[in-house]
Copies of this chain bind each other. A is one copy, B any other.
Amino acid sequence: MNDPRARKVSQAVLMATADDTEASFYEALQTGDLEKMMSVWADDDEIACVHPGGPRAVGPIAVRAAFEAVLTGGSVHVTVQHVRRMEQPGFAVHHVAEHIQAMTPQGMQTAYVMATNVYVRTAEGWRMVVHHASPGLPQELPDIVEPRATLH
């Protein structure tokens, strides 16, 4: 797997759907694997990432630096919940609720983060082009899907 070409072919098989790519993205966070993380992203100057409370990072070099900073502390204990999907022929938008646990001087802290992930279909499979995550909240906020229904 050290041959970059073999790796590309392998990734096209592994990232055959946006769901596969999303799974790889969160596995990379969970295992603290920066190379795996970057293999998830499209090779495009306009890929962009916004971490909670942070600036936007645009382009492969900046996105890599942003994840390098996140993974400096090791792996991230993140699980995803409530995935909503909008699928189109060449792209997909997923909204996920990230449940993040982190050990702090105050003990184990839990945060909920709302993230929008956008994927495009490329010759090498589905790749991420956007990860936009909103600052964590101490409690999970329920989705608002049919607010009128709550009136009855």
Contacts and interface: CB of A to CB of B under 8 A. Distances in A.
Nearest to A149: B61
Interface of A: 44, 46-48, 50, 52-59, 61-62, 65-66, 84-86, 88-91, 93, 95, 114, 116, 118, 120, 129-130, 132-135, 137, 141-148
Given A50-B114, A53-B135, A95-B56, A62 B129 contact: no
Copies of this polypeptide in the complex: 2
Given A56-B95, A116-B130, A134-B134, 19 more contacts: A44-B86, A46-B84, A48-B116, A50-B95, A50-B134, A54-B141, A55-B142, A57-B143, A61-B147, A62-B143, A62-B145, A66-B144, A88-B120, A90-B90, A90-B91, A93-B129, A93-B130, A114-B132, A132-B134
